[in-house]
Structure formats: structure tokens, C-alpha cells
Amino acid sequence: FKTRRNTLAAAVALAAVALSAALPAQAADIKPRLIRFGYGLAENSNQGRAVKVFADEVAKLSGGKMKVRAIGGAALGPDTQMQQALIGGAQEMMVGSTATLVGIAKEMALWDTPFLVNNVREADALLDGPVGDKVRGKLTDKGLVGLVYWENGFRNLTNSKHAVNKLEDLDGIKLRVMQNNVFLDSFKQLGANAVPLPYSELFSALETKAVDGQENPYNTILSAKFYEVQKYLTVTNHVYSPWIVTVSKKFWDGLSKDEQAVLQQAAVKSRDFERKDTREEAAKALAELKAKGMAVNELSPAETARMRDKLTRVNAGVATQVGMDLWTETQGQLAKLRGG
């Protein structure tokens, strides 16, 4: 009952936002606002570029009254710290991994399911459809407003020890994972020595060999210069990771409908830009990583199948964690998308 009421409230709020969005900035109810927008990656990354598009669009739509101050490189702290700052009202906005939100909304674990989607078409449909809306809506109760999902991307494995051609090659590899129980379980199942660490500590952990490896999309391996400290890249595509753009609910509730509409519209614009930009970069990134000296290998279909097998137990755990209704709805939508 409680959940249904909240979902409804979120839907109503978004509908109201869309209605008033046609007003020109001058006529609209918009006051000067400063929005501190934190993110973890470098300014020169797909994340940084999309934050800039968001900031420019907010300025444009608000006639320059609403200012977004973009603060990258985890200068405001790791994702979990920024989330708390948003909840407390000390920071207005951020973008980060959905994976670091599972402690706040357990349903976010849905996106951590290994091999959940096969391609970006399925990812977009799921994230922008009713399932994605429902999961995003779970944040509202917890002091966060989730506006849109961006693409982080399909994750691939890197390490500094040796090429990973089969599951057994993961034995003894100390692998950094995100601070998230599904990722931790997954890589333990696969035989790695999985260590949770915030992203902000990752480069130096790799550099000092505190950990041997990590997993992230090509874009991040490139923009974060992981190729400087990681020799081997294995194309695993083991999970598709989204990012989510969130607003402090305390801040959001103090905004007029028009101001909310500005943020909502700019978020959609940034999402569309970000996905396109990320996909273009990812398409070229592997060749660049090879040129930077990484040794790249693809996991064979047989080894991928073994990996999936090992992770069946993890999937069952996610289903329990997010609830059977949501899990069944997700599988239903995926079956439909696949023409089943």
C-alpha cells in the first residue's frame, strides 16, 4: 500500500512538471539558484561532458538564473558520501552509479544482475520504461529524487597480472569491486579475491598494487587512464551499469514547478546526449586501449557460459532482494523486447 502511494505521488509530480514546461524563462516562476553537482569521473570523460551539457541547458532554460556548479573527480567525496550530502540538503545534485545506492533503495540491485540485458536497446527500454521508473521512484522516500538514467555501460575486466582466458585465471586476483553486495558476491563466485572500494580510491589502489584489477566500461578504462597501470583487458561484458542523476529531495521540494521542470528537461537532454556520446566513444575505445599498449582478449562463448552458470545463484539472490514482483515484471518486459 505504502509503495503504491509513493509511486503514484512520483508519477503525479512528474506529470505536473511536464505540464508547465512550455513557459518561457522570463514568464516562469524561477529564482536565482545555485546547484552544486558532484560526480566521480574526470572532467574529460563521458560523465564530465554530459554534466556540462546539463549545466548549459539549465542556464539556457532558466534564462541564466539557475546555475549549476559542476564538481568532478570525486572532489565532493565518493558516491556514498555525496548521497548523504544530498539527503541532508548540504549538496543539491550528483550523478553516480546505481550500484552504490543499494543501501538506500534495495531495488537498485536489479541493475547489478549479471548479464541482465544483451544490448543497449534492451537497457534503454528497461531503464526508461515502467521498471526503471519504479526503481527510480524508490528513492523518493529516502530523500532523493532520481531524474534520469545515464549510460555507464557494459563492464569489462582489467588486471595487471595475466590474461584472463578462463574462469580459473581469476583465482588469486585481487579485484576491486564497487561497494555493492551483488558485485562482491558475483566475483567471489567467479573465484576472484573481491575487495570493495570506492571509485575515488581506485586508480591509486591499482597503481600501488593494493589491488590487481578492476572492472569498468571501456570509456572509463580510457578516461581514467587505467591503461597506465593495467596491462590485460578481458572483454567480458558481464553486466550493463547505469548511472543515475539525483537531486536532494530537500532542495527539490523547495523549488517551484517551473524550476523543477527546468531540471527535468535538462536531465532528459543530458541523458540523450550522454548515451550517444558514450556509445560513440565506446565504439572507438578498444582500438585506442590497444594502441596504448593493453593486451586485449575476448572470453570465449564456452567460458562466458561457464561464467553465467556460476552466477545463477547470484541472480536468485537479486530476485529475492528486489522482490519477486519486480523481478517477474523485468523478465516479462525483456521477453517482450526479445520478441518472446
Beta strands in the chain (DSSP E): 33-38, 66-71, 93-97, 144-154, 156-159, 174-177, 193-196, 213-216, 232-235, 240-248, 295-298
Beta strands in 72-115 (DSSP E): 93-97
149 binds ligand TK8 (CB under 6 A): no
Nearest alpha-carbon partner for 61 in 213, 333, 268, 320: 268
Pull the grid cell for residue 297.
582478449
Of 11-50, binders to ligand TK8 (CB under 6 A) are 40-41
Q: Are 66 and 58 in contact (CB under 8 A)?
A: yes
In whole angstroms, the minimum distance from the beta carbon of 216 to ligand TK8 comes to 5
241 binds ligand TK8 (CB under 6 A): yes
Rg of the chain on CA atoms, in Å: 20
Residue 326: which residues within 8 A CB-CB, separation 6 or more? 107, 110, 131, 134, 135
Which residue among 181, 186, 216, 219 contacts ligand TK8 (CB under 6 A)? 216
In whole angstroms, the minimum distance from the beta carbon of 53 to ligand TK8 comes to 17
240-248 and 93-97 beta bridge pairing: antiparallel
In whole angstroms, the minimum distance from the beta carbon of 226 to ligand TK8 comes to 10
Q: How many residues does the chain have?
A: 340
In whole angstroms, the minimum distance from the beta carbon of 97 to ligand TK8 comes to 3
The smaller minimum CB distance to ligand TK8, of residues 152 and 265, is found at 152
Which residue among 199, 218, 226, 252 contacts ligand TK8 (CB under 6 A)? 199
Q: What angle do CA 321, 191, 304 make, to 5 degrees?
A: 80
Which residue among 58, 87, 108, 178 contacts ligand TK8 (CB under 6 A)? 178
190 binds ligand TK8 (CB under 6 A): no
In whole angstroms, the minimum distance from the beta carbon of 155 to ligand TK8 comes to 7
Q: Are 164 and 170 in contact (CB under 8 A)?
A: yes
Residue type, 15: A
The smaller minimum CB distance to ligand TK8, of residues 41 and 318, is found at 41
In whole angstroms, the minimum distance from the beta carbon of 131 to ligand TK8 comes to 21
The smaller minimum CB distance to ligand TK8, of residues 83 and 216, is found at 216
Site string for ligand TK8, 62-81 (x = CB under 6 A): -----------------x--
Pull the grid cell for residue 213.
584489477
CB-based closest residue to ligand TK8: 40
Of 78-107, binders to ligand TK8 (CB under 6 A) are 79, 96-97
The smaller minimum CB distance to ligand TK8, of residues 199 and 251, is found at 199
The smaller minimum CB distance to ligand TK8, of residues 152 and 246, is found at 152
Beta bridge partners of 173: none
The smaller minimum CB distance to ligand TK8, of residues 219 and 248, is found at 219
- Count other C-beta atoms under 10 Å from residue 302's C-beta: 9
The smaller minimum CB distance to ligand TK8, of residues 47 and 265, is found at 47
In whole angstroms, the minimum distance from the beta carbon of 64 to ligand TK8 comes to 29
Residue 261: which residues within 8 A CB-CB, separation 6 or more? 17, 18, 20, 21, 23, 28
Pull the grid cell for residue 27.
514568464
Kindly state the number of chain residues that form the binding site for ligand TK8, as judged by CB under 6 A. Answer: 11
Which residue among 46, 83, 113, 152 contacts ligand TK8 (CB under 6 A)? 152
Q: Which positions lie near ligand TK8, rule CB under 6 A? A: 40-41, 79, 96-97, 152, 178, 199, 216, 220, 241
